[in-house]
Chain A
């Protein structure tokens, strides 16, 4: 991961920690939101809205639906920058 990717990962980790209570250091790129991080479908909507605000991007529902892992989210956010 380069520095930009790490910044996004760290920002997502803050969000997931706030919403799902998962320790910051456990929010790693290969982790899946639903199974590994216990973010259910309703909470995932919260994660997406918080990520939009934090990173200044727009994440349509279809794109959000394809974000299975933290890495998917990092890649999508990076591509919007």
Chain B
């Protein structure tokens, strides 16, 4: 019997982000080094200490029918838009089954967020308090459950091999992609649509994150607020949006003649067990995840030429991540172009791992590392080759890239991709 080729490849990408309503305009925004951070337009922002964020570039109401949108939490709206783009980008013309090239029983969906349907939950609570029980939407529960994004994408694409929403705070999007790789590797599915999404720009979240001193308060200069690795960084800037990829067994992709962006090489996971929100300062847990990635895949440190860093622009986190990268990659770190795309998109929380997976895959595909903007004065503790200001060409030949995502709770997820 022939051994089954369980290699996993990326055959579609989709996104809706603060930089653009699809993956192409998002990529163009990244290449242009454009900040999407602005003063928030919400009325309540007058009362919150943090008044800046990266709002979605194209409102989902412009992309979905009214009846579809009203049953979906904003985060699920983003996820569905990104998933449909990725699905079409992979060459599919209709949901599984209707498009006969996909067997619904072999299609999975793994899409998650950090905070679930929090906007719907809070809106409906306001309605309960102000208007009474009868006015609470019957769609409330499915809109606020933490699996709402995966469930709705699965429903839209007719996925029957399993629909999942693994939740690990700001690592949720990356954990979803990792889970999807495993679903294909272990033979549960031939195709898995995977990524992350978040819609959490709400005064409760702004108050909570603000009061824990996690966010930048650079209200007077929004575009300069997200500044990973810069000495003057003072916290992350919240963003919203989604990024989704279509993962497929190499064999299935080959059979249907699909265009392949990159190979999804594998993942590494660990947990800090240090503090509920603070990063472990030496990067011990992150290093363990990177080591797990190298040990569990055929990836070598030498082939890694690009890292899309988690780098949220917090004083401690950015440094711990670089320490871990240097510890595990060693001398190879000298030829790694490190990009912090959150300098432009803001931090999309559970959406980050999805959008940054799209960015990492496109970086390999175009052989261009996105810039890190607002890096005026490099923190001397950051011993890494940061791509500053403008994009940088990546080398010819076979190359690989790593995408890091970490979450409150000490979740560390690293993903690796390589050219095909």
Contacts and interface: CB of A to CB of B under 8 A. Distances in A.
Interface in A17-57: 18-21, 42-43, 45-46, 49, 52
A19 B70 contact: yes
B139 A19 contact: no
A19 B135 contact: no
A55 to B, nearest CB: 15
Nearest to A22: B67
Contacts of A19: 67, 70
Interface residues of A, number: 10
Contacts of B70: 19
B66 A21 contact: yes
B251 to A, nearest CB: 38
B138 A46 contact: yes
Interface in B305-342: none
Nearest to A41: B138
Contact of A42 (B66, B134, B139): B139
B2 interface: no
A46 B67 contact: no
B60 to A, nearest CB: 16
Contacts of A21: 65-67
B135 A49 contact: yes
A20 B67 contact: yes
A46 B137 contact: yes
A43 B70 CA distance: 10
Contacts of A20: 67
Interface of A: 18-21, 42-43, 45-46, 49, 52
20 contacts: A18-B66, A19-B67, A19-B70, A20-B67, A21-B65, A21-B66, A21-B67, A42-B71, A42-B138, A42-B139, A42-B142, A43-B71, A43-B138, A45-B138, A46-B137, A46-B138, A46-B139, A49-B134, A49-B135, A52-B134
Interface of B: 65-67, 70-71, 134-135, 137-139, 142
